[in-house]
Structure 1
Amino acid sequence: MQASPFLDSAQWQQHLFRGQWVAAAQGATVLEPATGRPLTQVGLASPDDVSASVELAIAAQAAWVAMPPRERADIFRRAAGLFHQHFDELARMVARETGGVLFKGEHEVREAITLCHLAAGMPLQAQGQLLPSTPGRLSIARRAPLGVIGVISPFNFPLILTLRTVAPALAAGNAVVVKPDLRTPVSGGFMLARIFEQAGLPAGLLHVLPGGAETGEALVTAPGVPMIAFTGSPAVGRRIGELAGRHLKKLSLELGGANALVILEDADLDVAASHAAWGAWLHQGQICMAANRILVHASLEEGLLQRLADKARHLPVGDGASGQVALGPMIDERQLQRVHALVQESVAAGAQLVAGGRYEQLFYQPTVLGGVRPGMRVFEEEIFGPVASVIRFDNDEDAIALANRHAGGLAAGVLSPSVGRAMAVAARLRQGMVHVNDQTVNDECVNPFGGPGIAGNGASVGGPADWEEYTQWRWTTIRQQAMPYPF
C-alpha cells in the first residue's frame, strides 16, 4: 500500500492556514510554469482574513515567549527532521511550482534544513548584556521580540526566502503572518504550514494567507504588526516602504539590485566564462544575486563572448522537474515579456545579440549580449532573466566606476589570480556582499545578507543579523528597594 503524500493538496484547496486549516471565501489556481497546466488550487485571503489572523497571532505570541527555550528549540529540530524525511517530495514540488530544475528544488530543501537547525540554536543563546550602572542598581539590556512579523515573500526561491525570516523570527519569540506570492503559495507558505504543524508549533503562531495587492497592503498597515519583511521588486518595495513608514513600522526590504562580476585581464578565461554563465543563467537568472552585468577587461572580451555563446547554444532548456535540463521556464508570461523587451530595446540601442534572444512558450534561451553600455536597459535595470550582459573596461579604475554605477547593489564578484589586486578592487565596490575569485550567487545562511539603495533599505538578514532584525533592545533596571528622590 502506497503511503499518502506529505503535501496533501486537499488541505489547502480553497483553504487558508491560521494555525489550523480554515475555509476561504475565494480560491485561485496555481499553474505549473513548465507545462501551463494547473498544479494545485489554494484559498485566497481577504483583508478581513488578515485582521483575524493578526488578532490570533497576538494572542498566541504571549504564550510562545513564556515557553521554555529548550522546548521551543525542539520544534525547529523536528521541523528539520520533517524536511529531511520528505526531502524528495518537497524538492519536486519546489521545482514544479517555481519552474526550477530539480537540483534547485533540492537546494531549497537542503537550505531549509540548515535554517531550521540555526533557528533551533537561537533560543539557547545569550539574549542580553549586563550594563554598567550606579552601585545598588542592576542594569540589563536584553533582546525582546517585536510581537507579530508580517512576511511578504517572492516567487523565485520561495521556500528559502520565506523561511529565512519565518524561522529566526519565530525562534526570537515572535509570531508570523506570511503572504506568499500567488504563483508559489505552496513552496512559499503551505509547505511551511505543514512542516511546523507536524513539528508541534503551537497553533496561531504561523499564518499563511495567499492573496493579491489588497491583502499585502492590509498586512503592511495592520496595527498589530510592528514589522514587515519583504523580498521582491524595487517598485513594490517602495510602495511597502511608504505604507510602513506612514505607520511607523520596522522594515526589512531585499530588492535585488545591480550586481557586477568583474573579470580582470589576468583571469583564466575558461574559469571566468563558467562563473559568468552560472551567475547569469542559474534558475533562468531569476535570482536577486544574479550577475546582471559582466565586466571584462578589453583584452578578454572577444574570448569571453565566444565561450559564453558556445555555452548558451549547448545548455538544454526544458521542464526542470524532469532532471534532464539546465534551465527551466520563466515563472510566467509577464516576466518573460519583460525580459524580452529589455533584450530587444538594448539591441536597438546598440548592443550586440551574440546568442539567444529567443523563446518558445515560457522557455527563454540563455542569451549573450555584447557591447553593453551605460544607458541601455540591461545595464541600468535588474534583468531577472537568463541574460549575460557583457561590458568592457580598460583598467581597474574604469571597472570600479562601471560596477559602482548603480542605484543599489546586492552582490559583486572579482576574478583574478592576483588576490591582493582583486581585494583592492573589491574593497571599493558599493555592494552589500563581495566575493573574491567567485561569482555573485552566494549565500550560506549564516552570513548577513543585504545591500544598499534599491538592493533594499540597508537591512541585513541571516546569521548574526537575525537578532538585530527580529527583536528590539529592552532596558531593565532593578533596585533592591525603591529610594526617595529630592522632590
Structure 2
Amino acid sequence: MIVRELTEDGTLSIQTDTFLDAGRWEGRAFFADWAGTSAGVIDVRDPATDAVIAMVGVGGADDIARAAQQARAAQPAWARTLPAERARILNKAADLLEANSAELIPWIMRESGSIQPKAGIEIEHGALFIRHAATLATQPMGVMLPAMDGRSNHARRVPHGVVGVISPFNFPLVLSVRAIAAALACGNAVLHKPDPRTPIAGGIIIARIFEDAGLPKGVLQVVPGGAEAGEAMCRDPNIAMISFTGSAVAGAKVGEVAGRHLKKVQLELGGKNALIVLDDADLDIAASNAAWGAFLHQGQICMATGLILAHHSVADALTERLVTKAAHLPVGDPSTGQVALGPIISDNQVASIQKIVDDAVAKGAKLLAGGTHQGRFYAATVLAGVKPGMLAFEEEIFGPVACVVSFSSDAEAVALANASDYGLAAGVISSDLGRAMAIGEQLNVGQLHINDQTVNGGPFAPFGGRGKSGNGSRIGGPADIEEFTQWQWISTKAQASAYPF
C-alpha cells in the first residue's frame, strides 16, 4: 500500500511496495507508457473507511481518443507476433500476478471492500484466466473450405483490431483480465476502462503485470474513467469491439451507442438468479448453498442467488436455517479483523438495498434477519414470503439479501424462475438428479448448476446470459476465439482469368 508521511521539512514522503511502485503510476494512466491525463486526477477511496488510498489519472474523451490511436498503431505488429511468443508473455503475466499476491491482495480488499478469501480468489482465478488465454494463442485459427471454380479456399480467424474493455467494481481484477487476456491472445490490442472506484485492482495491477511481462508498448492501454470515457470508447473509430461487464441499464446504453457505430458488442450484465430447493433436498446443505449464493461479497455479484425458491413443505425449515446463518455472519472492515461481509461499495447502493427491503416488508414479506445497516455495512438479511410484484422479487438487489419464495409444484418453480427478465444463472438442489435435470432444462438461463448454488465461474466455461443478462454473447472457454476474432475467407487461383465483361 502507499504510505504518506510528512518529513521534518514539511514535504510529503511517499513510500511504496516494490511491485506497485506508486512513483510509477500514481496520478497517471497507462498509455504507451505511464502518463498524465487531460481530465485530471481522482482519489481512490476505501469503501469501508472512506480514506483515500491512492490517486490515479482519470480519462475523458480526449484521453480515450489518444489511447485508441496508440493501440491501433501498435496492434498490427502484435498480431504478427508469433503465437508462442504471445503465449509466453501471457504466462509471464500470470506468473507475476501469483508471485506478488501477498502485496496485491490487500489492495483488492481495501479498494473493493472484499474479505481476504474473496480477494485471494481474484488472484487465483485471474491467473487461471490469463493462462487459459495463453493457450488460445496457439490454437488452430483456420479451416479448409471446399474447392470451387478451380480455386482453393480457406477461412481463418483474424483479430478485430482494438478491443475496448469496460469492467465493473465488484470483481475488478477477474472481470477485467478475463476479457483483456483473451483479446490479447487473439492478436488484438486493448483499451481498458476500469471502474473509477476500483482502478487499481481493475487496472493498475493488470497494466503492471503485462508491463513487466514484456508486452510491447501501446498494445494495452489502461485509462480509468466514468460514463464520458465509456461513451467515447463506444464512438471511437479506432475501436472495433466493446466487451462490457456491468448493469443492464448501462449495458443497454453501451449496446445502443456502439451499435450505431457498427462495433461488435459483448455484454455480460446482471441477473436475478433463482436457486430452486426441492422437497427432497438435504436442508442443511441447501441452506449452506443459499447463504453462500446470497451473501458472498455482500451480494454484489451478477450471479448472486437473488431468489431462493423453496418447496412449500420445506420453506419454513430452510428459512430458519438461513436466519441462523445470517445471524452468525459478522459485518465490518475486512482490513481490521475476521469478518464475513465487508462494506457495500457506496452510500447510493446502500439506499437502493434499503428501498427494496422496505418495499418487500410494506407489501407483506417477513423480515426475519438483518434489514439494517451502519453506514455502508449492511447486515445479512433474510426476507420470507417474497412474491411477484415486490421489488425484491423483480429487481437485482446487489446486496446481502436472501429472498425466500414458496412454490407448490415443479411447474410453478419453473414459472417463477422464468418470470424474470434476466437470464444469467440458476441452480436446482435435489436428491433426485433426474428430476433436477428435468426442471433445469426448462430454465431460460445461460448457465445451469445442478446441486449447486448460482455463483460459479471460471476460465474454461462460456459465461454469459440471456434477456437483460446480456446479448447472447459469451466469454471464457471455447467462446473466447469466437468473440475476440472474426472470420476471413481467402480464395486462391494459380493465375488470374478473364471474365465476360
TM-score (norm 1): 0.98
- 8 Å CA contact 1:412–1:434 kept in 2: the answer is yes
Report the AA paired with residue 411 of structure 1. Answer: A
CA deviations over 1:413-465 (Å, ceiling 9, x no partner): 00001000000000000011000000000112110000111001111100100
Cα deviation, residue 8, structure 1: 2.0
Please state whether the residue corresponding to 1:324 is helix, strand or coil.
coil
Which of 78, 84, 87 is matched with 1:64 structurally? 78
Cα deviation, residue 227, structure 1: 0.8
Which of 394, 418, 437 is matched with 1:380 structurally? 394
| Alignment CA distance shift 1:356-1:4 (3 Å) | closer
Cα deviation, residue 4, structure 1: 4.0
Q: Does 2:304 match 1:298?
A: no
| 2: CA distance, partners of 1:96 / 1:186 | 10
| 2: CA distance, partners of 1:263 / 1:134 | 57
Equivalent in the alignment of 1:343: 357
Which of 432, 436, 445 is matched with 1:418 structurally? 432
Cα deviation, residue 11, structure 1: 2.5
| 2: CA distance, partners of 1:317 / 1:444 | 27
Cα deviation, residue 359, structure 1: 0.5
Q: Does 2:34 match 1:21?
A: yes
Equivalent in the alignment of 2:471: 457
Cα deviation, residue 135, structure 1: 6.2
Which of 158, 166, 175 is matched with 1:152 structurally? 166
Please state whether the residue corresponding to 1:214 is helix, strand or coil.
helix
Equivalent in the alignment of 1:42: 56
76-85 vs 320-329, which moves further: 320-329
- 8 Å CA contact 2:165–2:179 kept in 1: the answer is yes
Matches within 5 A, 1:293-332: 293-322=307-336, 324-332=338-346
| 2: CA distance, partners of 1:304 / 1:363 | 25
| 2: CA distance, partners of 1:282 / 1:372 | 21
Cα deviation, residue 142, structure 1: 0.5
| 2: CA distance, partners of 1:241 / 1:339 | 27
Report % sequence identity.
52
Report the AA paired with residue 383 of structure 1. Answer: I
Equivalent in the alignment of 1:480: 494
Please state whether the residue corresponding to 2:190 is helix, strand or coil.
strand
Cα deviation, residue 88, structure 1: 1.3
Which of 119, 125, 129 is matched with 1:111 structurally? 125
Equivalent in the alignment of 2:257: 243
Cα deviation, residue 3, structure 1: 9.2
- Unmatched 5+ stretches in structure 2: 1-14
| 1: CA distance, partners of 2:153 / 2:361 | 64
- 8 Å CA contact 2:278–2:430 kept in 1: the answer is yes
Equivalent in the alignment of 2:3: none
| 1: CA distance, partners of 2:222 / 2:137 | 24
Report the AA paired with residue 266 of structure 2. Answer: S
| 2: CA distance, partners of 1:152 / 1:243 | 14
| 2: CA distance, partners of 1:34 / 1:471 | 41
| 2: CA distance, partners of 1:55 / 1:203 | 13
Matched positions, count: 486
| 2: CA distance, partners of 1:205 / 1:469 | 19
Which of 129, 133, 140 is matched with 2:154 structurally? 140
| 2: CA distance, partners of 1:251 / 1:151 | 10
- 8 Å CA contact 2:129–2:458 kept in 1: the answer is no
Matches within 5 A, 1:129-208: 129-134=143-148, 136-208=150-222
- 8 Å CA contact 1:237–1:255 kept in 2: the answer is yes
- Unmatched 5+ stretches in structure 1: none
| Alignment CA distance shift 1:435-1:12 (3 Å) | same
| Alignment CA distance shift 1:4-1:399 (3 Å) | closer
Cα deviation, residue 13, structure 1: 2.0
| 2: CA distance, partners of 1:251 / 1:131 | 28
Equivalent in the alignment of 1:361: 375
Report the AA paired with residue 270 of structure 1. Answer: D
| Alignment CA distance shift 1:4-1:38 (3 Å) | closer
Report the AA paired with residue 229 of structure 1. Answer: S
| 2: CA distance, partners of 1:323 / 1:153 | 29
CA deviations over 1:250-271 (Å, ceiling 9, x no partner): 1011111210000000001111
Q: CA RMSD in A?
A: 1.2
| 2: CA distance, partners of 1:432 / 1:322 | 38
Please state whether the residue corresponding to 1:198 is helix, strand or coil.
helix
| 2: CA distance, partners of 1:342 / 1:368 | 12
| 2: CA distance, partners of 1:370 / 1:103 | 29
Which of 377, 380, 384 is matched with 1:370 structurally? 384
- 8 Å CA contact 1:169–1:175 kept in 2: the answer is yes
Q: Does 2:73 match 1:73?
A: no
- 8 Å CA contact 1:16–1:44 kept in 2: the answer is yes
| 1: CA distance, partners of 2:152 / 2:437 | 46
- 8 Å CA contact 1:88–1:106 kept in 2: the answer is no
Q: Please identify runs of 4+ aligned residues in structure 1 that moved more than 6 A.
A: none
| 1: CA distance, partners of 2:34 / 2:16 | 22
| 1: CA distance, partners of 2:458 / 2:496 | 50
Cα deviation, residue 9, structure 1: 2.5
Cα deviation, residue 321, structure 1: 3.3
Please state whether the residue corresponding to 2:392 is helix, strand or coil.
helix
| 1: CA distance, partners of 2:393 / 2:16 | 51
Matches within 5 A, 1:274-293: 274-293=288-307
